[in-house]
């Protein structure tokens, strides 16, 4: 009788577990991204490479490698990956240093390493590396009943990665590398006063970085009124807003958008979602926002239900990696933040970004598959998450 009732309660659901939901949402985002990459890139691909399918073919190859990255994140015990975090740090740091020596320069920035016709962006690999470093530190402190500190060895290593990436220059990626671990630390058991200090330090640091580079300050000023310099610092923001606004409710139709005809720079990378809004309208834009919201919801649920503190922090960190990038990109293209060059996960074109995003999903599913911490109410207290809250379970 009980089994029949449970079957009736779950028969209407698309998925049974949270990690199945994450996989389903990721697949839908990848499908949308592939469609949008072709639609937003066939003009520039035909003009520059005499092949309108050029970027779509490359994205297909990127996706194949991304699937491998997903299974690496899924099948390797996340405890083993965390133990190898310092090895990962030194490998990524060496790659970032190599960028300054033999890196490929594109659009005035030296961010890529070339290997036999392929290019990778080492800064992307610093993102999950920073999350593993911070997750291990927080989990160790929580396990031993100790409060976390703002300054610690892992944070110094993360700061080193931040500095190397910022000097490329790649401010957007550097902010993710430092910002996501800081969010993880802020949500841990830091003292309240330390959290306020952390917020203040973050605001002051962001202001200082803008002042040190004149072009960044110019982008911030253009944010206030991009139309005042519509052909200069505000050009990308103006074109993006025009593309979004022209989509209306239902959009112009897939492939029919006009902004990709050399009006909107980086139409298939950083501003890919602007093209999607123009061609699918408010309905299409809302659906993508809904999918990212679902990803955040199920990712946090996996984190709360993880069997140990390390799993909780890794799941939370990987969820924030995807969600924070999405929030920054969507804020950037809508004129709420200055242009910082952060791609939209799964939607924007980019091989290394896709590899890292799919690896992050693999780690998230890895934590979810390994299940919840067991609790015997007769012999022990309810398990607590990294926020110090009891993990209550619904009695069936």
* Number of folded domains that form the chain: 1
332 part of a folded domain: yes
Q: Determine the pLDDT at residue 376.
A: 46
Query: Considering the entire predicted model, what is its pTM?
Result: 0.88
On whether residue 70 sits in a domain, the answer given is yes
Q: What is the mean pLDDT of each run of 10 residues along the chain (396 residues)?
A: 48 75 96 94 90 93 96 95 96 95 80 83 96 96 87 92 91 93 90 83 82 77 79 84 91 88 84 94 96 96 93 96 96 88 92 96 94 50 47 40
Give the dihedral sign, CA 221/226/228/229: positive
Q: How far apart are CA 94 and CA 178, in angstroms?
A: 18
> For residue 347, is it within any domain?
yes
Residue 313 lies in a domain: yes
Asked, for residue 260, whether it belongs to a domain, the answer is yes
pLDDT score at 371:
67
| 380 in any annotated domain | no
Looking at residue 387, its pLDDT comes to 43
In a domain, 46, yes or no: yes
pLDDT at res. 116 = 73
Owning domain of residue 280: 29-104+121-369
Q: What is the distance between the alpha carbons of residues 311 and 35, in angstroms, rounded to a whole number?
A: 34
Q: Please report the pLDDT score of residue 340 as a whole number.
A: 84
What whole-number distance in Å separates Cα of residue 95 and Cα of residue 89? 10
What's the pLDDT at 211? 77
Residue 152 burial (CB < 10 Å; 0-12/13-18/19+)? middle
**Residue 392 included in any domain:** no
């Amino acid at each position: 009788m009980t089994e029949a009732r449970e079957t009736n309660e779950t028969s209407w659901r698309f998925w049974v577990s949270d990690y199945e939901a994450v996989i389903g949402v990721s697949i839908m985002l990848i499908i949308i991204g592939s469609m949008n990459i072709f639609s937003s890139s066939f003009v520039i691909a035909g003009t520059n490479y005499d092949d309108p399918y050029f970027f779509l073919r490359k994205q297909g190859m990127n996706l194949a490698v991304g699937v491998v990255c997903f299974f690496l994140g899924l099948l390797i015990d996340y405890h083993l990956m965390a133990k190898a975090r310092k090895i990962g740090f030194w490998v990524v740091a060496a790659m970032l240093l190599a960028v300054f020596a033999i890196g490929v320069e594109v659009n005035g920035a030296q961010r890529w390493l070339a290997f036999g016709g392929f290019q990778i962006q080492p800064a992307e690999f610093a993102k999950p590396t920073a999350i593993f470093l911070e997750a291990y530190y927080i989990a160790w402190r929580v396990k031993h009943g100790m409060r976390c500190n703002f300054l610690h060895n892992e944070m110094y290593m993360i700061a080193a990665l931040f500095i190397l990436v910022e000097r490329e220059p790649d401010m957007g990626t550097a902010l993710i590398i430092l910002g996501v671990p800081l969010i993880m630390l802020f949500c841990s058991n830091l003292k309240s006063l330390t959290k306020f200090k952390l917020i203040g330090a973050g605001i002051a640091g962001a202001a200082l970085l803008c002042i040190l580079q004149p072009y960044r300050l110019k982008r911030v000023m253009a944010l206030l009124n991009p139309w005042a310099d519509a052909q200069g610092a505000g050009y990308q923001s103006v074109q993006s807003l025009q593309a979004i606004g022209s989509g209306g409710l239902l959009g112009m139709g897939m492939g029919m958008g006009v902004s990709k005809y050399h009006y909107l720079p980086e139409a298939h990378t950083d501003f890919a979602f602007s093209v999607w809004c123009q061609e699918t309208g408010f309905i299409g834009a809302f659906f993508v926002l809904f999918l990212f919201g679902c990803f955040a919801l199920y990712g946090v649920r996996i984190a709360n239900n993880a069997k140990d503190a390390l799993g909780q922090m890794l799941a939370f960190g990987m969820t924030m990696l995807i969600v924070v990038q999405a929030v920054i990109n969507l804020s950037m293209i809508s004129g709420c933040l200055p242009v910082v060059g952060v791609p939209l996960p799964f939607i924007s074109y980019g091989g290394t970004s896709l590899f890292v995003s799919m690896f992050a999903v693999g780690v998230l599913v890895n934590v979810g598959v390994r299940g919840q911490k067991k609790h015997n109410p007769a012999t022990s207290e309810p398990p607590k998450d990294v926020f110090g809250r009891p993990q209550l379970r619904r009695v069936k």
